Chain A
């Protein structure tokens, strides 16, 4: 299985901060057609996980532009600028290139 290493596991923040979360995969997530299937999710307590970013850098419908994704190959980053209260929760990356699909361990974004 492709191992996705997500860091940091915990990220204490203040509102208005800019932060980055990293996901590194044990093998390249680019398929033979050159497409890379890496997505990001936010999971708030008591809610279902919500899609933020797909295909490395495409924001899902309704996701604010303070969320951005980047990367290639094995290294990917989610950047959140100007953190707001509604951004607190667990963030996960997912690799969808290789079977079985695998998630990162999660990053808990919490108040300092």
Chain B
């Protein structure tokens, strides 16, 4: 069974960078699909942040493009989120998820992690 698990610091100061890790078990991130970060703000709004594909290519939400980087460690079957210059508006629960990318059935998230809460505060 495919499982994703986020980990991170929980608290970051404004202007610093946040780094989160998603550890995937039950499926190799180099086999297929795209590996994503999604966040949920207080108030429940969901925002897709970006992904790294099985081949290593990346795609980011333009609203974050200057601050975001998604990388991976294939030996550990992990992928990472780095978000620079954080502000209090980056306070959210961060999820990693697998995005199915097929021509006919489309783009959709079939497996999600449990989420990790990140607070930006001094």
List residues of chain A with CB under 8 Å of any chain B CB.
33, 35-39, 41, 47-51, 54-55, 58, 60, 90, 92, 94, 96-97, 99-103, 105-106
Contacts and interface: CB of A to CB of B under 8 A. Distances in A.
Nearest to B64: A100
Contact of A54 (B45, B46, B61, B106): B106
A47 B59 CA distance: 26
Contacts of A100: 48, 61-63
Given A100-B61, A106-B44, 14 more contacts: A33-B103, A36-B106, A39-B106, A39-B109, A41-B109, A48-B114, A51-B110, A54-B100, A96-B106, A99-B59, A100-B48, A101-B107, A102-B48, A103-B48
Contacts of B113: 48
Contacts of B103: 33, 35
Interface of B: 44-48, 59, 61-63, 95, 97, 99-100, 103-110, 112-115
A29 B39 CA distance: 23
A60 B110 contact: yes
A39 B108 contact: yes
A62 B45 CA distance: 26
A29 to B, nearest CB: 9
A50 B115 CA distance: 13
A97 B47 CA distance: 15
A90 B103 CA distance: 28
A103 B57 CA distance: 23
Contacts of B107: 37, 39, 96-97, 101
Contacts of A90: 44
8 contacts: A35-B106, A37-B106, A37-B108, A41-B109, A49-B109, A96-B108, A100-B63, A101-B107
A15 B108 CA distance: 29
